[in-house]
A = this chain, B = another copy of it.
Amino acid sequence: MIDETFLRVRYSETDQMGIVYYANYFVWMEVGRTNLIRNFGITYKELEEKGFLLPVVYTSARFISPAYYDDEIVVQSALIEMTKTKLSIGYRIFRITSQDKRELVCVGLSDLVFLDKETRRIVRAPEFFVNAVKIQKSPEYDKFIEDIQKILKY
C-alpha cells in the first residue's frame, strides 16, 4: 500500500532562497508515515500509549526540484521492509502543478526501530503491529521501490 498524504506549504517552511527549507521534508515524511501507519489500523499515538517508541535511526533524502510557498504537496509513503525490530519506510514527495500533473520534488527513506518506552532499549515489534502491517505488492508498489532505490542509490 502506498499512502498519500496531502498538505500545503506553510510560509514558515520557506527560507530566504524562496523555497522550502530542506529539513522540513523530514517533517513531512513523519506526517506521511503517521498516516501510513494509521491506514494499517493502528495509530502511532496508540503505539506510544502501549509502551513503545519508534524513533528514526537513519534517514536520507534526495532533493530533485524545489517546492514553493502555498504549493499543494502529496507525500507518498510505503513500507519497504520490516524486520523483527525495525521498519524501513520510503517516500516520494510531489508538488501538484495542475489537476492531473505532479512534479517529483524529493525522494526519501527512513529506518525506525521499536523501543521499550521505559527502558529505551530496542525490542521486537509488538504482535498487534506485526499482524496489522503488511506489504502488499503491486506494479505500482514495485515502481515505487525501484524509484526509491534508483534515486537514493542506497
Contact = CB atoms under 8 A, between A and B. Distances in A.
Q: How many copies of this chain? A: 4
Dominant secondary structure of chain A at its interface with chain B: mixed
Interface residues of A, number: 36
Nearest to A22: B56
Interface in A36-69: 43-45, 48, 53, 55-63, 66, 69
**Most chain B CB atoms below 10 A, which of A15, A16, A62:** A16
B59 A61 contact: yes
Contacts of A53: 17
A14 B12 contact: no
Contact of A45 (B22, B31, B70): B70
